C-alpha cells in the first residue's frame, strides 16, 4: 500500500500571506534544509482534513480551518499527495516542531522567490499557478 499525505497552503486571515517551512537537515531527505509548503503523512485510516489539522498543529503550532481541496498528485517516491488551501484567523505565531527547523509567514507574491525550485517543479499545475510559477 502506498503512503498518503496532505500538503497545505496555509493562508493568513486576510489572505495576503502564506506559511513556509524549512526542513531539518536530513541527508536522505529530498527537501533537507529547503523552504517548502508544509505537509503531513497520513496515519492509516486517517481522513485528509484530520491530517491537515494534525500536521499544522504538530509542525507549526497553529490551528487551521476553512479547508478547500485543490488537487492531488503523486510524489517522486510514489506517495499520493492531496493539496489543500487552509485558513487561520489572523496571523498566528508559528512554533516549529516535527521535522521543521524554521517556519515563517511570507507575502504570497514572494513565495516563488523563496521556495526551492526543486520542490516547486514537482507541484501540480494548479498549485504552481496559485503562486505565479510557470
Quick: pLDDT tens for 80-129: 999 999 998 766 788 887 778 899 999 999 999 999 887 888 899 999 99
Per the DSSP assignment, residues forming a β-bridge with 35 are 22
Number of domains in the chain: 1
Give the range of the structural domain holding residue 114, as residue numbers without chain letter: 4-130
User: DSSP string covering 83-102, please?
Assistant: EEEEE-SS-PPP---TTEEE
CATH of the domain at 14: 3.90.79.10
**pLDDT above 60 for 1:** no
- The average confidence (pLDDT) of the chain is 87
Quick: pLDDT tens for 8-49: 999 998 889 999 988 776 666 666 678 889 999 999 999 999
The model's pTM is 0.89
Q: Which residues contact 44 (CB under 8 A, 6 or more apart)?
A: none
Amino acid at each position: 500500500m502506498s503512503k498518503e499525505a496532505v500538503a497545505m497552503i496555509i493562508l493568513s486571515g486576510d489572505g495576503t500571506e502564506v506559511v513556509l517551512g524549512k526542513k531539518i537537515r536530513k541527508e536522505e531527505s529530498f527537501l533537507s534544509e529547503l523552504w517548502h509548503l508544509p505537509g503531513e503523512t497520513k496515519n492509516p485510516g486517517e481522513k485528509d482534513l484530520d491530517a491537515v489539522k494534525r500536521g499544522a498543529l504538530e509542525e507549526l503550532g497553529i490551528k487551521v480551518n476553512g479547508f478547500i481541496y485543490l488537487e492531488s498528485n503523486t510524489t517522486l517516491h510514489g506517495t499520493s499527495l492531496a493539496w489543500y488551501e487552509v485558513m487561520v484567523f489572523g496571523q498566528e505565531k508559528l512554533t516549529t516542531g516535527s521535522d521543521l527547523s524554521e517556519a515563517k509567514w511570507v507575502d504570497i507574491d514572494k513565495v516563488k522567490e523563496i521556495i526551492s525550485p526543486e520542490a516547486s517543479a514537482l507541484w501540480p499545475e494548479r498549485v504552481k499557478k496559485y503562486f505565479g510559477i510557470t
